[in-house]
């Protein structure tokens, strides 16, 4: 077995508990989880001041490990049939969503070293949060979420389009109903959209609300419509998860739970 293929197998999710690939998975999942915890604790000023050096060196070690992981993943991608051709195959893999997440998770650390404005690099440190998405390689539930969003993207797109149209319609109607009575609160249609979003999502902050009879009637109708409207994507995703779990049950071995050869993904 070539070194490249062996590296690819080690970095792929392990199918057998206790082998080298499994321990690498455990190490990476643990490191990702600790990075998320460190990112949270760094925002606590007293904790950060007391353990600033620890946070710095922990970030340094994490970046080194994640950088090595990224380079090895790109280098060994040719072991996969989809990226078999050297050069172009590696580039195609580097442009996949998960590979881009791997890159963005470490990029903010290197930007100041490359001469970028430190303030920009500091802002981009938010990308460290993307390290949480790296854990989706090892979590079946997150893989299901990704597949459901891919399978239901058309239905979700239609739902989003319908929501946008309804928001524009509701905000326009409410603007003309309330503008004269409340010129400051409903000064324009874009300003009225804040009320539309709060009402359609049934949050209703109460900072902006109709006072005229026609405005109250519109507000009540739009609030009721909003309850059903935001149930649409919920229903789409719920049906998608149900379908995906049913498919997995049909294509899995009843004894060991592994996917049967030749079954559709």
Domain boundaries, the chain: 3-138, 139-265
* pTM over the 0.85 mark: no
What CA–CA distance (Å, rounded) separates 153 from 159?
10
State phi, psi for 259 to the nearest 5 degrees: -70, 135
CA–CA distance, 111 with 34 (Å, rounded to integer): 23
Cite the beta strand spans of the chain per DSSP E: none
**Residue percentage of the chain with pLDDT more than 70:** 82
Average pLDDT in the chain: 82
Q: Tell me, what DSSP letter sits at residue 252?
A: B
- Comparing 18 with 79, the larger pLDDT belongs to 79
Interacting residues of 183 by C-beta distance below 8 A, sequence separation 6+: none
What architecture (CATH level 2) is domain 3-138?
Up-down Bundle (1.20)
Q: Which CATH class, in words, describes the domain spanning 139-265?
A: mainly alpha
- Give yes or no for a contact between 200 and 167, defined as CB atoms under 8 angstroms apart: yes
């Amino acid at each position: 077995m070539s070194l490249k293929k062996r590296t690819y197998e080690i970095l792929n999710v392990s199918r057998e508990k206790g082998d080298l690939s499994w321990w690498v998975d455990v190490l990476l999942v643990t490191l990702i989880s600790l990075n998320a915890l460190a990112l949270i604790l760094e925002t606590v000023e007293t904790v950060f001041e007391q353990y600033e050096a620890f946070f710095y060196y922990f970030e340094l070690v994490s970046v080194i490990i994640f950088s090595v992981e990224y380079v090895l993943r790109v280098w060994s991608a040719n072991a996969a049939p989809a990226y078999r051709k050297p050069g172009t195959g590696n580039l195609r893999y580097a442009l996949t969503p998960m590979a881009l997440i791997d890159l963005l998770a470490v990029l903010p650390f290197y930007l100041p070293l490359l001469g970028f404005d430190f303030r920009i690099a500091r802002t981009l440190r938010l990308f460290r949060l993307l390290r949480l998405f790296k854990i989706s390689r090892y979590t079946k539930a997150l893989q299901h979420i990704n597949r459901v969003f891919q399978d239901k993207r058309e239905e979700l797109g239609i739902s989003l389009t319908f929501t946008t149209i309804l928001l524009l319609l509701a905000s326009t109607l409410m603007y003309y109903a309330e503008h004269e009575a409340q010129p400051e609160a409903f000064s324009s249609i874009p300003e009225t959209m804040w009320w539309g979003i709060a009402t359609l999502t049934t949050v209703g902050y109460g900072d902006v609300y109709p006072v005229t009879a026609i405005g109250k009637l519109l507000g009540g109708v739009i609030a009721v419509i909003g309850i059903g409207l935001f149930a649409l994507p919920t229903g789409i995703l719920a049906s998608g998860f149900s379908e995906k779990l049913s498919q997995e049950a049909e294509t899995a071995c009843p004894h060991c739970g592994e996917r049967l050869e030749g079954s559709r993904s």
